[in-house]
Amino acid sequence: DAGVIQSPRHEVTEMGQEVTLRCKPISGHDYLFWYRQTMMRGLELLIYFNNNVPIDDSGMPEDRFSAKMPNASFSTLKIQPSEPRDSAVYFCASSFQGAITEAFFGQGTRLTVV
């Protein structure tokens, strides 16, 4: 397996534009997590899914952020409209419950909003 795959690796966008980040979890994993990392706040859990269903979105900063998981192999994190303070590295991770439940992280998407 290629691991958790995120795209794009880098995204530069203008304030007010819509941004969509994509994630393909490891095949067979039933949990998917979205994290955001900044120097000021470190790694923050935004939302996680179990079997494609959002379980806890209490970390989503505001209504401009939304996440979906239409099937077991794909998830998106959307920001609309984007703001400069959304600039961060966004990580996706997946895990399998019932086994050794460590989470495997993707390489991240570095988002810059100008």
Partner 1 sequence: DAKTTQPPSMDCAEGRAANLPCNHSTISGNEYVYWYRQIHSQGPQYIIHGLKNNETNEMASLIITEDRKSSTLILPHATLRDTAVYYCIVRVHTGNQFYFGTGTSLTVIP
- Amino acid type, 62: E
Check binding of 14 to partner 1 (CB under 8 A).
Answer: no
CB 59 within 8 A of CB 41: no
Check binding of 111 to partner 1 (CB under 8 A).
Answer: no
Check binding of 31 to partner 1 (CB under 8 A).
Answer: yes
Check binding of 42 to partner 1 (CB under 8 A).
Answer: yes
Check binding of 107 to partner 1 (CB under 8 A).
Answer: yes
Whole-number Cα distances in Å, 32 to 15, 40, 113, 114:
28, 24, 25, 29
- Alpha carbon distance 106, 32 (integer Å): 11
* List of residues contacting partner 1 (CB under 8 A): 4, 31, 33, 35, 42-43, 45, 48, 50, 55-56, 91, 93, 95, 97-98, 100-108
